[in-house]
Amino acid sequence: MSTCTIHWFRRDLRLADNPALTMASHHGKHRVIALFIVDDQLVDSPRVGPNRLAFLADRLRTLHAELQQQGSSLLIAYGDPAEVILQLCKKHGAAGVTWQADPAPWARRRDERVASTLQNNGVTPYIHDSQTIVPVTQVLTDKGTPYTVFTPYYRNWSRQLRIPAALPVPPLLPVAGIPSQPTWPNWPTTTVPLPDSRAATAQQLLATFTSQRINTYDDGRNVLAQAGTSGLSPYLRFGIISPQECARAAIAAQRLAPPTAARSGAEVWLSELAWRDFYQQILYHFPHVANYAFRPMYDDIAWDNNQNYFAAWCAGRTGYPIVDAAMRQLSSTGWMHNRARMIVASFLTKDLLIDWRWGERYFMQQLIDGDSAANNGGWQWSAGTGTDAQPYFRIFNPTSQGETFDPDGAYVKRYVPELANVPTKYIHAPWLMPPVLMREVHCLIGHDYPAPIVDHATQRAKALAMYKLVRPE
Ligand SMILES: Cc1cc2nc3c(=O)[nH]c(=O)nc-3n(C[C@H](O)[C@H](O)[C@H](O)COP(=O)(O)OP(=O)(O)OC[C@H]3O[C@@H](n4cnc5c(N)ncnc54)[C@H](O)[C@@H]3O)c2cc1C
């Protein structure tokens, strides 16, 4: 029986710059079983929806094609990971299994179980810590405790930043008995247009972004109608591109940029990648955040949780154009601009007075880039319940957010066609249009487009009272 190694692909669905896959190639003398396991517990979770599953299914197909170019293929197996992997080890004589560590609490529990099953059967697990740019256990305060505030975390993170040289695709020889075609998962499809899942596309996107748009990222990232951000989140979510490769490109762009505002674009983008690491270390060190507020006092908030308001928010029919455009961007593309995510999250919690967990779950169901750590961090930040969060009393005004970040209403008009003819002056508060103008632009508020379902000023006061009630004097 030939010796080989199994590489268990999870959130590292790439061949290049993949240290765990490179380890597999090394330990297996290039004979590697490239394995993906469909775990029904994850697939059937109420936090997973067709958009992310469809993108994952697509990526499995393109990953298989990329493996085929190397003379290998993807094996897709179904069932409990510990059982599946052990059976494969026995069948193919694999003496080692490699994977990339995942700091999420449920992933750690699963991986500990898999590792001990393997060890008990004489198989060595090789685990590489590369889901974040700096490992989650490495950035600690002088007292050895985790950071809960981003700025000092980032300072220390920057000091620890040592990015290894990029790894090429390792040699991958086929293993006898592995079928040349995988048994593809039968997952629900989606109607949203999916990003191209090939690794080369992710690399191209990174190259284009870091050679051009990164220089104006500092301001451009907040303009809702512009593609001012990288659009890399679905690729980073599934590890189609490595975060280390992104960091390398950011640092190179920083060196090349003129020493002015352009350089700060690259610096700010690198810090966004650090936010990604920050929230993964928060979930690692404080696993309770997955279900509860980071600050326990906020678990006592008596949310209104009005089902009709929630349905209007999901459907993009709140009567606040910027909120509705953002929610419709989500339902029609499976992605939402970061500024828009902040606006709708603030609106759900502090205007509609709905528990942040409802919104967090809805986002996980819809987002192609849905990532438990970043999503949880973003929601708790917006709700004011999290680490280093937006203070509870800072409540976005949806009208002025629209005016600032979508000044000509282009974003609103793209996603809310009912408002296509509304003049810029009224685009973020169309209910203020005089009735004669409403008729002229074919947009009767309450008929063609909803009237605001709540009054911002009234709800703001209610939210402040609601938060104050659970805070110590
Ligand atoms: C309520 C809310 C929910 C969010 N949910 C998710 C989520 O499920 N998945 C997700 O990847 N991001 C999430 N974010 C963070 C952010 O909105 C997205 O990462 C970003 O919009 C993705 O677009 P981009 O790739 O063009 O980002 P860029 O601006 O180009 O940033 C590059 C990368 O940095 C990381 N990043 C950027 N901002 C953040 C941030 N604030 N927190 C953590 N990582 C960040 C992402 O991996 C992103 O792809 C959420 C933010 C909020 C406010």
Average pLDDT score, the chain: 96
Tokens encoding 136? 């989650």
Mean pLDDT value across residues 243-264:
86
CA atoms within 13 A on the CB side of 256: 11
Query: Pick the catalytic residue: 379, 381, 397, 418?
Result: 379
Taking alpha carbons only, the member of 220, 230, 275 closest to residue 389 is 275
Residue ranges per structural domain of the chain: 4-130, 132-166+198-285, 296-468
Helical H segments across 233-371, by residue range = 233-237, 243-256, 261-285, 307-315, 321-333, 338-346, 356-366
Tokens encoding 230? 């990288």
- What pTM, to 2 d.p., does this model score? 0.97
Q: How far is CA 260 from CA 6, 94, 209, in A?
A: 48, 54, 18
Longest dimension (CA), the chain: 83
Confidence of residue 389 (pLDDT cuts 50, 70, 90): confident
Tell which CATH architecture fits domain 132-166+198-285.
Alpha Horseshoe (1.25)
HEC assignment per residue over 94-124: EEEEEEECCCCHHHHHHHHHHHHHHHHCCCE
Tokens encoding 450? 């909803």
pLDDT at 1: 46
The percent of the chain in helix, strand and coil, each rounded to the nearest 5, is 55, 10, 40
- Does the annotation mark 335 as catalytic? no
pLDDT in tens, 420-467: 999 999 999 999 999 999 999 999 999 999 999 999 999 999 999 999
Per-residue pLDDT at 379 exceeds 70: yes
- What percent of the chain shows pLDDT beyond 70? 98
| Class of the domain covering 296-468 | mainly alpha
Question: Can you tell me the distance from the alpha carbon of 237 to that of 366, in angstroms, rounded to the nearest whole number?
Answer: 14
Give the DSSP letter of residue 447. Answer: T
- Does the annotation mark 245 as catalytic? no
Given a contact cutoff of 8 angstroms between Cβ atoms, the answer to whether 76 and 39 are in contact is: no
Atom of ligand 1 at shortest range from CA of 370: 8
Atom of ligand 1 at shortest range from CA of 233: 49
Q: Do domains 132-166+198-285 and 296-468 have the same CATH topology?
A: no
Taking alpha carbons only, the member of 244, 208, 245 closest to residue 229 is 208
Mean pLDDT value across residues 92-98:
97
- Does the annotation mark 215 as catalytic? no
CATH number of 4-130: 3.40.50.620
Kindly list the protein residues whose Cβ atom lies closer than 6 A to any atom of ligand 1: 221, 229-233, 236-237, 272-273, 275-276, 279, 338, 341-342, 345, 363, 367, 369-371, 374-375, 377-379, 382
